[in-house]
Amino acid sequence: MSRSVRTRPEGSGRALSEAYDTALLDLDGVVYAGGNAIAHAVDSLATARDGGMRLAYVTNNALRTPDTVAAHLTELGIATDAGDVITSAQAVARLIAEQVPPGSRVLVIGGEGLRVALRERGLEPVESAEDDPAAVVQGFGGPELPWGRFAEACYAIARGVPWYASNTDLTIPGARGIAPGNGAAVEVVRIATGAEPQVAGKPLPPMHRETILRTGAQRPLVVGDRLDTDIEGAFNGEVDSLLVLTGVTDGATLLAAPPQHRPTYVDADLRGLLTGQPEVTGDADGGFRCGGWTAAAGAERLELTGDGGALDGLRALCAAAWTAGGEQGCGLDSGKVLARLGW
């Protein structure tokens, strides 16, 4: 697919909640971390919704059911219905249902979210490779998932049963830090079997299709904290994105991003939905300007002059780094200028 390479974050003269009809929000690292609401998330989402923006919660975490997620969000102060939640379990269940006969048995390596999604598609969840499954599906099962479940998957896959994964996020943010995600568990099975799963979750097309089918969004804005899932998923779906810096992505990773990982907009947290976005001006010859900052790519490192808000400095640096990096991603040293901005 041919498209231009993004070389700077875009500006918006209107609040993003007015410019887009639906926010497709990631959960872990965006709305909450470790079950607790991230600062400013509850109030910002309420204001965006009251202003007419639809909120849909799109998560690669296949452990919990939409009902459970909706109840949790409502408990945090964000009134949510189960129909507002789209999970990678739903996306992978649809993918499986399109490839196996109706009513087929599916070996589940994961949690209740997968079982509910499979039943919704008329499939029968089973627990053993001896149950004659037509497919194996693997999703995040939480820290208590027994090691023996991985062995069960391997037994079935070794017999030629097709293998599906809800997602392959290597990590998941929590209250105590970054923990292994479903992708780490998928690697265990891949190493043991030499097989490759079909994957449904972000950033791949099955998840984007599931989201659009369930929300009917016409002008969606993907909101996430991960470049390799949320932002790449928006890139693959050819829709705009907002990166919030409340999860796993840090400043250095953002500046080094290749084209498919470059968000349309960058903001500190979900308050970015309620405002316009400043324009980055200038060029590689004269430097890129945002707020009171000017950024440029030197011979070995990124350079930053001026003063102003840290986010404006980061946006200017993005333009300098993405322009210098072209289609490969920028390899210039950014440590000194990011430390100056507090990133």
Q: At what angle do helices 112-120 and 66-76 cross, to 10 degrees?
A: 120
H-only helix segments in 216-330? 232-237, 251-255, 310-325
Note whether 165 and 95 are within 8 A (CB): no
DSSP 8: S
Question: Which amino acid, one-letter code, is at 237?
Answer: G
Residue found by looking up tokens 């829709």 in the block = 239
Catalytic-role residue among 21, 26, 169, 333: 26
Cβ neighbours of residue 290 under 8 Å, at least 6 residues apart?
278, 279, 280, 281, 308, 312, 313, 315, 316, 319
Rg of the chain (C-alpha set): 21
Residue found by looking up tokens 């984007």 in the block = 208
Active-site residue flag, 225: no
Distance CA 225, CA 231 (A): 8
Q: What are the angstrom distances between the C-alpha of 243 and each of 100, 143, 192, 223, 228?
A: 37, 27, 35, 6, 11
Distance CA 132, CA 64 (A): 26
Question: What proportions of the chain, in percent to the nearest 5, are helix, strand and coil?
Answer: 40, 20, 40
Cβ neighbours of residue 93 under 8 Å, at least 6 residues apart?
114, 117, 118, 120, 121, 123, 137
Token readout for 67 is: 């009902």
* CA 90 distance to own-chain centroid: 16
Catalytic-role residue among 28, 169, 240, 267: 28
Active-site residue flag, 84: no
197: nearest Cα among 189, 205, 207: 189
Catalytic residues: 26, 28
